[in-house]
Structure 1
């Protein structure tokens, strides 16, 4: 057999996927050099042999290139262009998510700008999201986003899937922003790191993950770390702690609903579409909560932030800036997941938490005790263990499967 030839592997139980409009028999028609006919009712794929001999591994000897190529598991060969885009996605998500954390603390913190309307601020954020996504979906900026044709969410799916997901997201954001009025940013970040616990628990409840001893062990490790963090906090505030803990629980519930939504609704597999559908519900829920608990209309009458037209314009301008930061963070987060993996996002999230805590100590002079630091380290170990488990599980699930190796570079991108 010569280099560049193709070999036929058969039989195969099933093919993983067939693209829309593609003839399943096209693989058969591509065969140019085979001596055996296809067996009846069997599937086949083609593996193109390389034009140059290999020595058991096709990885580059360059360690840096190997590392950068691992960032994108969907790309079979390393290219500097792909590496540059993946790193830019990580940097963008890092910047916007970190900036949003400090923005929220500076805006609603009692010792900072002291805008005592965290629920109303959150509502303004989601309102700006709806305006931005409506403009993008109108087709006026087709160079940025092109609306898919013939795809929309049914009324039944909207009320049974979209609305619960939006309400969970609204509760999470409102409680998270409200907690920053009572606790330090570092303590908020450490307690919010308990989110993987609730993600796993709701995944068990909804059948998205099978209960295993190793997962229960990982949950226990993260829980111990959070408990150590709480007992080590010198400026402990019960209200703030319960709010951020409730935000972590809602986050786990929300991400489980989001996973089911994205898996079952083809029309919502893009962040623009997702924000477009869930932001109106989130806006209504947040405004309602604000009217009940904050009474913003009364606040407008005597607050120093709404005393005249100039300050009102500045205050609402600050709110819109937060909405833009949140929007950019969501878009960069989706791009990071789409072009790399959720594991990459999780690892980046761990390092981001460490950076946020370090910056909050330097900027806001937050006090950390040895027990605080030890609890954070234990939680990070648990989160890292969960990421390692997911990597190993995904590797085992994909082992032994034949995958078609594209013969052209453009075919590697769906």
Structure 2
């Protein structure tokens, strides 16, 4: 009788924990999609074609909220001296600024669906940059895997019905800066034993990003805003975008704490396909058969690459 009660209690606990984990996954997918779709709407349909200003709004909001959370004692901060901050955090913040600015700018020219397809090249650029900086070891198998992904994305680009070179350049720049940022995190922070959760990351990096973005904003977008009447300030949408971006960072923290890298990768695949579908349904983005075929090839290449990386990690940890 006691064993039966223990089994029932154990079963209830299992389903409870599983429910919490899947709730976090759904929340992360929802917030990821929300941030991207809202940003696309703000920049393309809400008469606010200013990606740097949008990114500045995010950084200001996230900086203020992270500061309040840490000062209130809800999250412990990582104490960092000025030398460490300047040498390790500032370069990462500069690259993160570029990632956000260029990535948001791409929404002015490309559909959400096509941008998600271009993002499939992220493992390729991370691998190449990693080999360049010494965080990745060159492997013929990995290299062939990257060729498959590149061919798939090239096919998807060829099949894009509303191809725009400027948008592709912006998105490619965002992917490259993000790849360098991820590799520098390994070199500058993890190598020194500095571990930042999403709140402390925003606490240290968001203010620096804000400062970096002020320079291009002053020379590129501010003159346009001052000398043009063809725009309006969508305050509610900007607030929703900033709140969603901050919530997305928190959901990443929650999900990483309860799941494996494999779960994150699977959730990421679901998110990408969902965004492509939403782009077609909400913004009427044209997606051709050749484009889907190319993305399918790239998608399989990314899945195989992630599987290989997980296998290597398990061997190392085992």
Q: TM-score, normalised by structure 1?
A: 0.70
Contact 1:225 1:376 survives alignment (8 Å) = yes
Q: Say which SS state the counterpart of residue 193 (structure 1) adopts.
A: helix
Deviation, structure 1 residue 166: 0.7
Deviation, structure 1 residue 371: 1.4
Distance 1:243 1:114, change over 3 A: same
1:288 aligns with 2:229: no
Aligned counterpart, 1:320: 239
Aligned counterpart, 2:26: 91
Could you report, residue by residue, the CA deviation over 1:22-62 in whole angstroms, capped at 9, with x for unpaired residues? xxxxxxxxxxxxxxxxxxxxxxxxxxxxxx9xxxxxxx9xx
List aligned pairs for 1:67-216, cutoff 5 A: 79-109=14-44, 112-139=45-72, 142=73, 145-148=74-77, 151-216=78-143
Q: Say which SS state the counterpart of residue 121 (structure 1) adopts.
A: helix
Aligned counterpart, 1:406: none
Which deviates more, 325-334 or 340-349?
Answer: 340-349
Distance 1:234 1:265, change over 3 A: same
With a CA cutoff of 8 Å and minimum separation of 6, indicate the structure with the bigger relative contact order: 2
Pairwise CA RMSD = 2.1
Aligned counterpart, 1:346: 265
1:382 aligns with 2:301: yes
Aligned counterpart, 1:25: none
Q: Say which SS state the counterpart of residue 184 (structure 2) adopts.
A: helix
Deviation, structure 1 residue 137: 0.9
Counterparts of 2:17 and 2:94, CA distance in 1: 37
Q: 1:365 aligns with which of 284, 287, 290?
A: 284
1:395 aligns with 2:314: yes
Provide structure 2 residue ranges, at least 5 long, that are not aligned to the other structure: none
Which deviates more, 332-341 or 211-220?
Answer: 332-341
Judging by fraction of residues, say which structure has more helix. Answer: 2
Q: Say which SS state the counterpart of residue 392 (structure 1) adopts.
A: helix
Counterparts of 2:118 and 2:39, CA distance in 1: 16
Distance 1:368 1:390, change over 3 A: same
Contact 1:233 1:372 survives alignment (8 Å) = yes
Aligned counterpart, 2:252: 333
Deviation, structure 1 residue 265: 5.2
**How many residue pairs get matched?**
309
Distance 1:206 1:93, change over 3 A: same
Contact 1:169 1:254 survives alignment (8 Å) = yes
Contact 2:38 2:237 survives alignment (8 Å) = no
Could you report, residue by residue, the CA deviation over 1:46-105 in whole angstroms, capped at 9, with x for unpaired residues? xxxxxx9xxxxxxx9xxxx9xxxxxxxxxxxx8233322221221111011000110011
Contact 1:337 1:344 survives alignment (8 Å) = no
Q: TM-score, normalised by structure 2?
A: 0.91
Deviation, structure 1 residue 113: 1.1
List aligned pairs for 1:18-97, cutoff 5 A: 79-97=14-32
Counterparts of 1:276 and 1:369, CA distance in 2: 43
Counterparts of 2:250 and 2:114, CA distance in 1: 27
Q: 2:229 aligns with which of 291, 297, 303?
A: 303
Deviation, structure 1 residue 354: 0.9
Q: Say which SS state the counterpart of residue 79 (structure 1) adopts.
A: helix
Counterparts of 1:324 and 1:268, CA distance in 2: 24
Deviation, structure 1 residue 216: 0.6
Larger radius of gyration: 1
Counterparts of 2:258 and 2:88, CA distance in 1: 26
Counterparts of 2:197 and 2:64, CA distance in 1: 17
